[in-house]
Every structure is written in C-alpha cells, then in structure tokens.
Amino acid sequence: MAYIMTLIISFLLLAAAITLSLITGSVELSLHDAVNAFIAFDPSDNGHIIIREVRAPRAAAAAIAGAAFAVAGGVTQAVTRNPLAEPGIIGLNAGALFFLTIAFIFMPGLPFTYLILISFAGALFSALIVLTVSFFGRARMSPLKLILAGVAVTLFFGSLSTAFQLYFNIGQDIAFWFAGAIQTIGWAHLSVIIPWFLFGIAVSLLLSPVLTAISFDEQTAVSLGVSVNKTRLSALIAVVMLAGLGVSIIGAAAFIGLIVPHMARFLSGGDYRRILPLSGVLGAVLTVCSDLAARTLAAPVELPAGALIALIGVPFFLYLARRVVRYEV
Amino acid sequence: MMNILEVEDVTVGYGKKMILEDFNMTIPKSTITSIVGPNGCGKTTLLHTLARVLKPKYGAVSIGGEDIFSLDTKDVAKRLSLLPQSSAAPAGLNVHSLVSYGRYPHKSAFGGLNSEDAENIDWAMEVTGIRDLAERSLDEISGGQAQRVWLAMALAQNTGIILLDEPTTYLDMKFQMEILNLLKDLNDTAEKTIVMVLHDINHASRFSDGIIAVKDGEVISTGSAEEVMTGSILSEVFDITPVMGRCPFTDRPIITSYRLRS
C-alpha cells in the first residue's frame, strides 16, 4: 500500500512539473491557457501555440528521456549486479557521440531528425560491439566482462571522437547539438522516438520479476529456473533502446540512470517489480524539473539540462548514500 | 530403487581446467546422500553439475531418466533446488520477499502469490525459525540467520530433490543439528531426495543413507556409512590418521579425533 501511495505521489509530482513547465518561460501563461490549449485549441492564440508546439513536446521529451535513462539504469544495475552501473557503462554515450562527430564532419547541416537517428544508431552500434565481445568465449555475458568491454569501447570511441573533433574543429557544434537537441524538439521527432520508448519500457517491465531473480548470485538464479543469458540479452536490448533514445534527446545525462534507481530502491525495497516503475516516474520528474530550471534560471541563456541534473542530483545522491546505504557493496 | 539423479561419464570444469573427468555417480530417489572430501576435490563442482549450474563438456546428467539440459530450466526448478555455499541478494530486499522468490519457478511472471505459495513460504520460514525476521532486510541480520533465510528460500521451492552445499556452515551447533534434523525429517515424511556437501564427516555418517568420498575429482569410495567410514578410506581421502569410534545415538562410525599422517 505504501508503495502504491509513493507511486501515486510521484505521478502527481510529474503532472505538477509538466504543468509548471507548460506555463513557465519567456512568455508567462496561465493554467487556464494550458488547459485550453488542449481541450479548446485556438490557432490564433499565440499562447496556445507556444504550449502545444514548443513547451508540450519539450516537456514530453524531457519526461521520456528521464524515464528512459532511469529505467535503463535500474535494468543495467540488475544485469551487471553492480550498484554503480548506469547505461553509459555499456558504451552507449561514447558510440552516440562518435557517430554524431562523423555526421558533423561528413554531412554538415543534416536535419535534426536525422541527427537523432544517427546518435541512436551510434548508441546501438557501440552496445552491439560490447554485447558481441561479452557474448563469445568463456564466461558468456558475465557482468565483469560486460563492464570491461564497455569501458574499453567507451575509451576507444571517446578518444576517436575527441581526436576528430580537434582535427576538424567541430567540438563546439557537437556541444551545441548536445545542449540544444531538446530545445528544438517537436512532435515530429517525438513520434519517431515514442514507439522505441514504449517498447523499451514494456520489455523492462515484463522482465522486472526475472531481473530480481537474476540479481541474486548466479547459482541461485539458475536454480530458481531463470535462463540467465537469455534474460541478460533481452534486458540489454531494452537498455540500448531506452538509453539510446535518451542520449539522442538530452545527451549523456546517464547520471539519471545511476541515481534514480537508488532513490526508487530506497523508497520501495529491493524488488525490481517495484523499483522500475517508480524509477521511470521519478526519472521523468527529475528531468522535467531540471529542464525547466535549465531554461528559466539564466533566461534568455539556456543552461545544459544535463549539468543541472548533476547539480541537483549529486547532493541529493550523496545525502542518500550517507543516510541509507547500510548494505555493503 | 530408482535413480532420480544420474551422472554419466561427465567431464566438467572451468575454462580449460577440468575438475571432474569421466565421472559417474547415481543418487537413488528419496535418500540422503552426503558428498565428502578435502578442499578443492571437486565436491562443489559436482553439486553445481547436478544442479545444471555448470554444463559438462562431455557426458550427461539426467533427472528422473531425462537429460537435465534438454528440459525447460523452469521445469527443472520445480523438481530440484540448490542451496549454494554463499549467496547474494539485491540490496534492500526483505526476508519475506526473498523467501517468496523460492516460488518463482511455480508462477507466471506477474501472477501474485496464491494460497499454495503462501503456505509454502510460511512453512519454510517456520521450520527454519526465521518468522520473526520477515520484515528485516538481509543486511540487518547475522550470517547464520542469512544462511537460514537462503535455506528457507530453497525449501519454499518445494522440490522433490534438494541439493545443499555445506548447509551447516556459519551455523552454531544447535542450528546445525536443527537443520540436519529438519532435512532428515523432510526425507522421512515427504520422501525428499537430499544431496549435500558436508564438511563435518560425523554429521555425514549420522544423517546419510549413502556417502560419496571424493578426492582429486575421483570417487574413492561410495556406499553406506559402514562401508565408507573406515579408518583406511578416511586416511586415504583426507590424508590424516583418524581414530574411529561409534556415535552414541545411531551407533554409526564416527571420527573421535585424528592426527596428521606421518
């Protein structure tokens, strides 16, 4: 019961955060405008247009990216049995960055929707390398192998990207893109992303009972009748989808994937059937709030949402770590 | 008597290092079998092979006459449970939720606990004496209590075959005896087949129908306590000179003391 209450309160917080970001900005609008923009849309009302075409897709994108990173983080922690894991650990961010770098060099001026797809493809590509490396040979898909392969691929793509960016002098474009993807996002882009999002979330939630069983030690998981490798593989596919689309929206803010599952764990116990849904909602709340802060705190200058997430998240995370981490890792 | 578990010409190990080669063993249904032997002799490897945690390189393991690897792993989990030597749980899970994961193989992914599940969980927590710990988190209880929680989880699985890797480690003398009595009781009343790795050879003698003595991946001796628990066999297996005596409760052979072989 306590869990259901927590979930309901989190949803209410999310609704409040989204409403607040619909009416707050360079043009201040009222709650009345926000409601009417959806139930009695007036195409001649600028406020309605701002809400429907600018702020609503942006809030939705922030919520989607936040939920995606948070759920992907919870799944990654279960699969790697590592409480410090986040989706970036399997090389996603570095791959996305590398592909974007290549795109900026060889296809400058590519439209936004393509860039999102390219960053997504990069995330998929690097994750595929990591999965392939860890799938073959001894100790198939062992958590340690996954992490080692992930770190290696991250370093490899990271240094390639840095070298290319320096040589072709495109570092600023990349940084601008990462900070700016969410600023210009519209429903057209979201309609590309949402199916992937729903698929990734559905797979994660379906797997959640197995994820708890798989996060026991290997022998216990096997003796409970869990197909360990099959589960790891399907879970990682979900992680790639979710974190890949997250990266394409707000850049490498995978930090959400580290802290939010711990918040959810603290609030709901150690069962992934509870951790994952709560992580999704809390991740959305955190990201919508951070994005709102990013565009209002220093208006008209936009701060990078990723940096703000860390700014809000890190102190809170340290507080949690001090207060509640009784368990030894 | 039907053999519920059979190991046939099994070669198994880790990577390139083989621990057991051409290994053969049978476990009759509804008996208690103890595997004994020195450290590193392959006891745990053998138990993990029986539990399909390790896949043999060559040879076959069968459960009730069927190849264990051809069966659906969830179906095997309804018939066979394993208590590993040490276990790890995700942080924050409380004792009751942990034990209820023993019901995992019996449920569809999102089915809640039915009354049969609840009965099994309650019973398992009752007989292992962890009722009072239900709401506690695993990181708040002692090693011995945790060991009983893991045993409760394996028992809640309610399988015909229970494999245990040193179930009495971490436990004080009273709980050691309680657990062994409980296993004996399960064998007597519910006809469970029990296979365990035991460090305490006197416990093995007292509670087992059959003992398998293993050294360097080879079976040195197998049979009843009377057959295996002889001075010369124990001397060979453990590299010691034992002084043999009789258990005052069961009249079975025990080691009263020992010294190193000179």
Q: What is the pLDDT of residue A328?
A: 44
- Distance between CA atoms of residues A176 and A249, nearest Å: 13
Contacts 24+ apart (CB under 8 A), A144-149: A146/A79, A146/A80, A146/A89, A146/A90, A146/A236, A147/A80, A147/A82, A147/A85, A147/A89, A149/A90, A149/A91
Q: What is the pLDDT of residue A141?
A: 67
Average pLDDT over residues B244-248: 94
pLDDT in tens, A182-199: 777 888 888 888 999 999
Q: Bigger pLDDT: B205 or B94?
A: B205
pLDDT in tens, B76-86: 999 999 999 88
Homologous superfamily of the B3-86+159-260 domain (CATH): P-loop containing nucleotide triphosphate hydrolases (3.40.50.300)
pLDDT confidence of B1, banded at 50, 70, 90? low
| pLDDT > 60? residue B102 | yes
Q: Which two tokens stand for residue B154?
A: 């394996």
C-beta separation of B253 from B246 below 8 A: yes
| pLDDT > 90? residue B252 | yes
Q: What is the pLDDT of residue A114?
A: 81
| pLDDT > 70? residue A202 | yes
Q: What mean pLDDT value characterizes chain B? A: 91
| pLDDT > 70? residue B111 | no
| pLDDT > 70? residue A256 | yes
Nearest CA in chain B to A216: B89
Q: What is the pLDDT of residue A327?
A: 47
Sheet holding B193-197, edge to edge: B80-83, B161-165, B193-197, B32-36, B210-215, B218-223
Q: Distance from B180 to chain A by nearest Cα, in Å? A: 21
Q: What is the pLDDT of residue A46?
A: 84
Average pLDDT over residues A55-78: 93
Q: Flag the least confident range among A4-8, A298-302, B245-249, B254-258.
A: A298-302
CB contact A218 to B (< 8 Å): yes
Task: Give the type of residue at A315.
Answer: P
B92/A272 touch (CB, cutoff 8 Å), yes or no: no
Residue boundaries of the structural domains of chain A: 1-60+253-329, 80-248
B139/A326 touch (CB, cutoff 8 Å), yes or no: yes
Average pLDDT over residues B165-171: 89
ipTM for the assembly: 0.88
CA-CA distances (angstroms) from residue B255 to B205, B230, B232, B249? 10, 9, 12, 14
Q: Distance from B55 to chain A by nearest Cα, in Å? A: 12
Q: Does domain A80-248 have CATH number 3.30.420.140?
A: no
Q: Flag the least confident range among A18-22, A123-127, A168-172.
A: A168-172
pLDDT in tens, A308-326: 877 777 787 777 667 655 4
Q: What is the pLDDT of residue A159?
A: 92
CB contact A213 to B (< 8 Å): yes
Highest mean pLDDT: which range of A38-42, A201-205, B116-120: A201-205
Q: Flag the least confident range among A149-158, A220-229, A309-318, B8-17.
A: A309-318
A223/B86 touch (CB, cutoff 8 Å), yes or no: no
Q: Distance from B12 to chain A by nearest Cα, in Å? A: 14
Which is it for the CA torsion B244, B249, B250, B251, positive or negative?
positive
pLDDT in tens, B174-191: 989 999 999 999 999 999
| pLDDT > 60? residue A329 | no
B84/A219 touch (CB, cutoff 8 Å), yes or no: yes
| pLDDT > 60? residue B238 | yes
A220/B84 touch (CB, cutoff 8 Å), yes or no: yes
* Burial class, A326, CB count within 10 angstroms (exposed 0-12 / middle 13-18 / buried 19+): exposed
Q: Bigger pLDDT: A14 or A84?
A: A14
| pLDDT > 90? residue A1 | no
Q: What is the pLDDT of residue A138?
A: 66
Q: What mean pLDDT value characterizes chain A? A: 85
Q: What is the pLDDT of residue A67?
A: 96
Residues 6+ apart with CB under 8 A from A30: A23
pLDDT in tens, A99-158: 988 998 888 878 777 877 888 888 889 888 888 888 776 666 677 888 888 889 989 998
pLDDT in tens, B124-161: 999 999 999 999 888 888 888 888 999 999 999 999 99
pLDDT confidence of A54, banded at 50, 70, 90? confident
Residue boundaries of the structural domains of chain B: 3-86+159-260
